[in-house]
Structure 1
Amino acid sequence: MLLRGALAAFAENGYDGTSVRELSRRLGVSHALLTARYGSKEELWFAAMEHVLSRTKSSWRRLAEDPNLDDLDVLRQGIIHQVVFSAAHPELVRIMTHEGAIESPRMHYLFEYVIGPLRLPLERRLNRLIAAGRIRPVPYTTLHYLVVQGSGALYASPVESALLGAPQPAGADDVRRHAETVADIIVTGLSAPH
């Protein structure tokens, strides 16, 4: 509960715009409790991010390293997984937007903890698909931003998505349909003849 509330605050105000005192008021706990449990605002940020990212990181890794799955199936299932995860944790896309724009130890942590370690097994799958002529060549960074930030924007930007007519809040069926549509568009686009 504390870590989820901290994520929401960091997503709303950014790291620099969030104070531990404000967090303690918002979460209904004492400043002393947050300081005793996490030590500093930065350690609280790291704990909150690790809490939310640990499950998706292990899911992505299992998927990327599963020898029984076809490479194209891994790509499609991974995209669906990411969209569903982004819908469950829209604050993460907002935080990544804040952190990705500035040089900080927090962005380096995200890269070293999640982004970098997952890149190698996923890139291996993509390279095999490209070498086999099953998909067109695509820079990994292009695919990364389409999947991680592009597909999650529907949930990270609720005001804009409501103005566009998206259901608010989105139910599980709506999220799944959106995830499958995103996956189908990306996979079909990559698989189309050059």
Structure 2
Amino acid sequence: MPEEESILTRGLEAFAELGYDHASARELARRLGVSHNFINDRYGSKAAFWRAVVDHALGAQLAGVLDVDPSADDAEWLRRVITAFYRSAADAPLMGRVFVNEFTQDSERLDHLYENYIAPTLQALTPAIDRLVASGRMAPIPMHVLFFAIVPPISGMVEVPLARRLGRPEAAYSPEQLTATAESLATLVVNGLLATGTTGRS
């Protein structure tokens, strides 16, 4: 593994475990196996290092999520995109934990996640959703409701200790079973979104 990739990977592990505020420069340096001023010298600041870590992880994780056959029916396209999203979360659970840490804090880090990843992804979904609503196949849903309908099920892919306590068998962690779980979650979410008996915008 190239030095830079190794540093960013270990940085992700540290931020996922400790959270940004508890990942001190000293602790990061210890975990990275570098001098205490390495992060400032290489990246400029802890905040800049966090952005580099996140961009490295999300760039790889989200690659291909939206590359679903655009000729598919809108509902099927949405299901496939959400499946790919859940599957990518299962492949890289540390980033999911970073998201959980950051979603509860109003910070520049959340701005970075929203502006560079969340908003562009939601914008890519909007045309298909608008067509589903216009055709009567999906009730109008506020964007904040849509987001929290899609994203929280990721916990079923990444919160391994809790999943075990809920009865998830060890065999469920094979690549084939993770794919099956991602598909089941996506189908459940999309079927719920297409249940047009829900209330409208609020």
Q: TM-score band, normalised by the shorter chain?
A: 0.7 to 0.9
Q: What SS does the corresponding residue of 1:59 show, helix, strand or coil? A: coil
Q: 1:57: Cα distance to partner?
A: 4.1
User: Partner letter of residue 12 of structure 2?
Assistant: L
Aligned to 1:25: 30
Whether 1:42 aligns to 2:47 is: yes
Q: 1:116: Cα distance to partner?
A: 1.1
User: Partner letter of residue 119 of structure 1?
Assistant: L
Q: 1:147: Cα distance to partner?
A: 2.3
Q: 1:140: Cα distance to partner?
A: 2.7
From 176, 182, 187, the equivalent of 2:179 is 176
- What TM-score does the superposition give when structure 1 sets the normalisation length? 0.87
Q: 1:134: Cα distance to partner?
A: 2.0
Contact 1:90 1:152 in 2 (8 A): no
Distance in structure 2 (CA, Å) of the matches to 1:171 and 1:30: 38
- What TM-score does the superposition give when structure 2 sets the normalisation length? 0.84
Whether 1:2 aligns to 2:7 is: yes
- In terms of fraction of residues, the more helix-rich structure is 1
Q: 1:61: Cα distance to partner?
A: 4.3
Unmatched segments (≥5 aa) in structure 2: 1-5, 198-202
Distance in structure 2 (CA, Å) of the matches to 1:155 and 1:165: 14
Structure number with greater CO (CA < 8 Å, separation at least 6) is: 1
Distance in structure 2 (CA, Å) of the matches to 1:57 and 1:155: 16
Aligned to 2:133: 130
CA RMSD of aligned residues (A): 2.0
Distance in structure 1 (CA, Å) of the matches to 2:77 and 2:144: 17
Aligned to 1:89: 92
User: Partner letter of residue 21 of structure 1?
Assistant: R
Contact 2:62 2:85 in 1 (8 A): no
- After TM superposition, what 4+ stretches of structure 1 lie above 6 angstroms from structure 2? none
Distance in structure 2 (CA, Å) of the matches to 1:49 and 1:119: 19
From 49, 73, 76, the equivalent of 2:79 is 76
Distance in structure 2 (CA, Å) of the matches to 1:103 and 1:127: 29
Aligned to 2:19: 14
Unmatched segments (≥5 aa) in structure 1: none
Aligned to 2:200: none
Contact 2:25 2:39 in 1 (8 A): yes
Aligned to 1:165: 167
Q: Residues 103 and 21 (structure 1 numbering): CA distance in 2 closer, same or farther, change over 3 Å? A: same
Q: 1:58: Cα distance to partner?
A: 4.5
Distance in structure 2 (CA, Å) of the matches to 1:84 and 1:177: 9
Give the paired residue count. Answer: 191
Contact 2:66 2:81 in 1 (8 A): no
Distance in structure 2 (CA, Å) of the matches to 1:118 and 1:145: 14
Q: 1:42: Cα distance to partner?
A: 0.7
